Structure 1
Amino acid sequence: MSLRILLTNDDGWEAPGISAMADGLRAAGHEVVVVAPADNQSGASARISPTGKLTVTRPRGDDPVWAVGGSPADSVIFGLTHVFETTLGGRPDLVVSGANAGANAGQAVHFSGTVGAAVCATGFGTPAIAVSTLMAWDTTPTTELFDDTVVAVVALLHGRTPADVVPDGAVLNINIPDADAPRPLTAAAARADHLPMGRMGYAGDGPEYQLAFEPGPEPAPGTDTAVLRSGRISLSVVPVVGTPSAADHLAAVATDLTDRIAAHQ
């Protein structure tokens, strides 16, 4: 089953994660249109342009890539309303946001532009998936570091409709463990942790301060941070107003995804 996918992110349209995801989804037979920020917009959440004006370019000529001078949410709105509705004549089947360089679990979902883009899509009635890959803060992302992520997302979507995968009216938040995780990868349904993945705060003596991170407390069992630290793929739902409980849906999706990855590897 081929899906029409709007692919976005918060790291910028040239980032290794979105490049790997675009190549992998196209190789699996999906139609992929990239509409993503022109530069890095990490931490933008679901912010939109305060002026209501955007500069948008086509950096690869006729290739289906739009670089938006704005946030991830701006990119989704432009992609849905201008690129798909006006240029391509209809909405996409699915919005995929990512793959992000770094996990977005726990309270990180509130800051994440990757997740914010997916939440924005849901507000337009389009199913959306946020995809992130755990890696150390000082890691330089390369496309190869997203191989497991691409395999997982392609396996998740193979032969299925978005409704089979994404809970109604919700954002499916997928976090992939790092390369040291046990193989074959397995997936588990999780609930969003109420704590950040690490303690954060601004340090310094002033007048300039630097955002700093320290290891956080041990996460509670069953949370997305705990599942990810155990070396498993975490599937959770980002709370959206009016979203029904998705626990049973997630459990079935996680079991099926584990079987699909095992068959692939």
Structure 2
Amino acid sequence: MTRLLFLVLATLAAGPALALNILLTNDDGWQAPGIQSAYKALTAAGHKVTLVAPLSDQSGRGGAMNTDVGSYVAVNRVADNMWSVAGTPSDSVRAGLQVILRDNPPDIVISGSNFGQNLARAAAHQSGTVNAALQAAFLGYPAIAISVGLRFDEFDAKPQRFPSTIATFGPAGKLLTAMLEQLQQASPERLLPAGLALNVNVPAGWQPERGLRLAPLSTASHVDMHWRVGERPFDEDGGELLIDAVVGGHGHAGDDAHLFEQGYVTVTPIDGSADTWVPVPGLAGALEYRPDN
């Protein structure tokens, strides 16, 4: 944890670093502005970047992957160093690590920049962006998931929705390259501990002087998908329901949702667990259950 504190508190004016071999993925699709901006920033910094990402938007798919043994998945080169995968973010990571970069393993896997924040436990577990990074960590690779927040008052902005998010992809890319340089300086041999990924969230319109903060995942649901009856009929025989994005809990002091709302970039080390022990009355007795002979 000491090295991670060094990372988030260090100046963004990092020194020169060796070029890295990077696998870049996301859940918004290979053509999304966030991943294309990250690709430009990383290659401009001198890194060798191979983009392997879903063919279409796979947001909210979490860690889903294709388990249809014996089936084939379309994987196509769409541009120099860029590949599309007809599957999920986790599928894309496996295609990249196990086939495309099999003979030239990457130094790190980066997922993003995502279109929208991935804060708190629920979002982190539902997010395809975060779970792509976790998939890489499970396979033994250092990984970073990076997301740029949405301002929901910009939902109907013209001529383009969420202009602040689009404008922040560039600064997020520069932040990402600076973080990589800091990680290299702190640990040239391995950028992150085995099995660990970083979940990074950048507020829309972020100002670098606001800085970064190390933060645990919030227990609050920062943004929730809420199902309700809309304008179309719905009765006892069924019908169609409308899905709304509802901005919910604001977190607790010091967690990622709270600090994000204060304008900080949040950095959360994750390993796929909630990392919380909650006492459950009666559970100890239940664990002693033995079936009758």
TM-score (norm 2): 0.75
- The Cα of 1:200 is off from its aligned counterpart by 3.4
Does 2:88 align with 1:96? no
Q: Runs in 1 of length 4+ with deviation above 6 angstroms? A: none
How many residues are paired up? 237
Unaligned runs of 5+ in 1: 244-265
Alpha-carbon separation, structure 2, partners of 1:225 and 1:242: 15
Correspondences of 1:36-47 after superposition (within 5 Å): 36-47=53-64
Higher mean C-alpha deviation, range 207-216 or range 4-13: 207-216
Partner of residue 75, structure 2: 56
Alpha-carbon separation, structure 1, partners of 2:263 and 2:128: 24
2:138 to 123, 129, 150: 123
Q: Which has the larger radius of gyration?
A: 2
Alpha-carbon separation, structure 1, partners of 2:264 and 2:89: 27
- The Cα of 1:123 is off from its aligned counterpart by 1.2
After superposition, the C-alpha distances for 1:158-204 in whole angstroms (9 at most, x for unaligned) are 2643984534321100000111x445230000000112113432001
Correspondences of 1:145-224 after superposition (within 5 Å): 145-158=168-181, 160-161=183-184, 164=187, 166-179=192-205, 181-204=206-229, 206=234, 207-224=239-256
User: CA distance change for structure 1 residues 109 and 162 in 2, over 3 Å: closer, same or farther?
Assistant: farther
Higher mean C-alpha deviation, range 216-225 or range 28-37: 216-225
Alpha-carbon separation, structure 2, partners of 1:151 and 1:235: 15
Partner of residue 287, structure 2: none
Q: Contact 1:228 / 1:234 at 8 angstroms: preserved in 2?
A: yes
Does 2:52 align with 1:35? yes
Alpha-carbon separation, structure 1, partners of 2:182 and 2:265: 20
Q: Contact 2:220 / 2:250 at 8 angstroms: preserved in 1?
A: no
Alpha-carbon separation, structure 1, partners of 2:207 and 2:49: 31
User: CA distance change for structure 1 residues 133 and 150 in 2, over 3 Å: closer, same or farther?
Assistant: same
Q: What's the % identity of the aligned pairs? A: 34
After superposition, the C-alpha distances for 1:111-145 in whole angstroms (9 at most, x for unaligned) are 11001111111111011100000123523567543
Alpha-carbon separation, structure 1, partners of 2:88 and 2:186: 27
Partner of residue 232, structure 1: 264
Unaligned runs of 5+ in 2: 1-17, 156-160, 276-293
Correspondences of 1:103-142 after superposition (within 5 Å): 103-106=117-120, 107-137=122-152, 138=155, 139-140=161-162
Q: In the alignment, residue 202 of structure 2 is paired with which amino acid?
A: I
SS at match of 1:59: strand
Q: In the alignment, residue 42 of structure 1 is paired with which amino acid?
A: S
Alpha-carbon separation, structure 2, partners of 1:159 and 1:190: 18
After superposition, the C-alpha distances for 1:217-249 in whole angstroms (9 at most, x for unaligned) are 331011111111000010002243599xxxxxx
Alpha-carbon separation, structure 2, partners of 1:232 and 1:242: 22
TM-score (norm 1): 0.83
User: CA distance change for structure 1 residues 229 and 167 in 2, over 3 Å: closer, same or farther?
Assistant: farther
Alpha-carbon separation, structure 2, partners of 1:59 and 1:83: 13
Q: Contact 1:109 / 1:238 at 8 angstroms: preserved in 2?
A: no
Alpha-carbon separation, structure 2, partners of 1:160 and 1:50: 34
